[in-house]
């Protein structure tokens, strides 16, 4: 009997789903039209503008412990409630705004996360004296990116996300743990965790 060595073994099968349009996507982006559109048009696209990046950091914090679908459905409400995530305006929110937000059914009404968003806006504004939020976050882009064949191959944190988390906390951010920051890095194109056979693999232009 011929022995198959690890080098000769076939690669693991992908668990990407081929949609009616013939395009391969991960399972999480293959059923819900809202998630499919988000995956096809936004997830993994580089974000290099302060207000947009602050929004992503804020929404990733609100997502902690919840599904991303919940946050995405509520995003219009979040944008209205948080002044389109303008850091200057959010940084100026007071206790009346906190009370307003906690009574707003169109967002996730979590007191700690609401206060964290205000705190993070203040930290983002302060960072302008040191190069700004965008350059700060992108300075933690790693030298390599995952190359997952299956969704199970995608890690949930990395050395870079741990370092980014620690650095953000040092300059005043909260609710920015390593797992949350890894999700941010995926969402803003700092790393490419699209499955290798996904139609979106390499589409960010960051990793070729």
- Three-state DSSP class for residue 102: helix
- Residues marked active site are found at 38, 60, 68
Residue 2 has pLDDT above 50, yes or no: no
pLDDT at 12 (0 to 100): 55
d(CA 24, CA 66): 26
User: If you average pLDDT over every residue of the chain, what do you get?
Assistant: 94
150 closest CA partner among 196, 108, 81: 196
- Three-state DSSP class for residue 120: helix
174 closest CA partner among 98, 111, 118: 118
Whole-prediction pTM: 0.92
d(CA 175, CA 198): 31
Confidence of residue 5 (pLDDT cuts 50, 70, 90): very low
Length of the chain: 208
Confidence of residue 34 (pLDDT cuts 50, 70, 90): very high
**Could you say which DSSP state residue 158 is in?**
-
Q: Name the region of 189 (left: φ>0; alpha: ψ -120 to 50; beta: rest).
A: left
Question: 92-149 pLDDT, tens per residue?
Answer: 999 999 999 999 999 999 999 999 999 999 999 999 999 999 999 999 999 999 999 9
User: Could you please report the per-residue DSSP string of 23-88?
Assistant: -EE-GGGSS-HHHHHHHHHTTT----SHHHHHHHHHHHHHHTTS-HHHHHHHHHHHHHHTGGG-HH
Confidence of residue 14 (pLDDT cuts 50, 70, 90): confident
Decide: residue 25, CB within 10 A, 0-12 exposed, 13-18 middle, 19+ buried: buried
């Amino acid at each position: 009997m011929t022995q198959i060595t690890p080098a000769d073994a076939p690669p693991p099968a992908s668990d990407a789903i081929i949609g009616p349009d013939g395009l391969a996507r991960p399972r999480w982006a293959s059923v819900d039209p809202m998630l499919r559109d988000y995956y096809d048009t936004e997830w993994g696209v580089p974000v290099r503008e302060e207000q947009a990046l602050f929004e992503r950091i804020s929404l990733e914090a609100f997502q902690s412990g919840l599904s991303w679908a919940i946050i995405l459905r509520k995003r219009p409400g979040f944008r209205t409630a948080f002044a389109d995530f303008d850091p200057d305006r959010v940084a100026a929110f007071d206790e009346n705004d906190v009370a307003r937000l906690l009574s707003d059914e169109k967002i996730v009404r979590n007191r700690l996360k609401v206060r964290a968003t205000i705190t993070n806006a203040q930290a983002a504004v302060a960072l302008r004296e040191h190069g700004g939020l965008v350059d700060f976050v992108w300075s933690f882009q790693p030298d390599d990116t995952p190359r997952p064949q299956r969704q199970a191959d995608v890690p949930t944190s990395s050395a870079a996300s741990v370092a980014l988390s620690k650095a953000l906390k040092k300059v005043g951010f909260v609710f920015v743990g390593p797992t949350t920051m890894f999700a941010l890095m995926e969402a803003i194109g700092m790393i490419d965790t699209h499955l290798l056979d996904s139609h979106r693999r390499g589409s960010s232009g960051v990793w070729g």
